[in-house]
Amino acid sequence: MKQVEERWVLEDNVRPWTMNSERRWHYHKRASIVRECRERFAWLALAQKVPRLDYVSIDVVPFTKTRSSIADPAACYPAAKAAIDGLVDANVIEDDSGVYIKKISFWSPQISNYEALRLVINKERKSDERNNDD
Q: Is 76 helix (H, G, I), strand (E, B) or coil?
A: coil
Residue 121: inside a domain, yes or no?
Answer: yes
Domain that holds residue 26: 7-128
Query: What CATH number does the domain containing 16 carry?
Result: 3.30.1330.70
Provide the domain count of the chain.
1
Helical packing angle, 27-47 and 77-89, nearest 10°: 50
Residue 84 confidence class, pLDDT cut points 50, 70, 90: very high
Residue 13: inside a domain, yes or no?
Answer: yes
> What 8-state DSSP symbol labels residue 102?
E
Calculate mean pLDDT across residues 103-121: 94
Report the C-alpha gap between 79 and 19 in whole angstroms: 8
Residue 39: inside a domain, yes or no?
Answer: yes
User: What pLDDT is attached to residue 81?
Assistant: 97
Residue 127 confidence class, pLDDT cut points 50, 70, 90: low
Residue 2: inside a domain, yes or no?
Answer: no
Through-space distance between the first and last CA atoms of the chain, rounded to whole angstroms? 6
Residue 1: inside a domain, yes or no?
Answer: no
Q: Give CA separation, 59 vs 14, 56, 101, 117, in Å.
A: 17, 10, 11, 10
Residue 83: inside a domain, yes or no?
Answer: yes
Calculate mean pLDDT across residues 65-73: 78
User: What pLDDT is attached to residue 70?
Assistant: 76
pLDDT tens, residue by residue, 34-62: 999 999 999 999 999 999 999 999 999 99
Identify which has the larger pLDDT, 50 or 67.
Answer: 50
